[in-house]
Amino acid sequence: MRREQPPWVHEQRQTLGRRIRDLRVHRGHTQEAFAEMSNIDRRTFQRIEAGTSDPRYGDLLQIAVALRVSLDELLR
């Protein structure tokens, strides 16, 4: 059974999702094209950007590489 997470976890997921979206848009990619570039399922990528899903470490690495940023910069 999954325990409910504290509100700050949800806020941090949303902040990360906005950061990813802003970087993606700045680079001129659609969600669909970027999901394909980063080799992540489109729906999974949509949930990451929306802040409704906890991204896996491997997904974060793939997103950082596709955005040409370090993982540290992505998670700032």
| Nearest-angstrom CA–CA distance, 38 and 55 | 13
Tell if the pTM clears 0.85, that is, is over it.
Answer: yes
pLDDT tens across 3-52, in order?
Answer: 788 999 999 999 999 999 999 999 999 999 999 999 999 999 999 999 99
Range list of H helices, the chain: 7-26, 31-37, 42-50, 57-67, 71-75
**Which domains are delineated in the chain?**
7-75 (1.10.260.40)
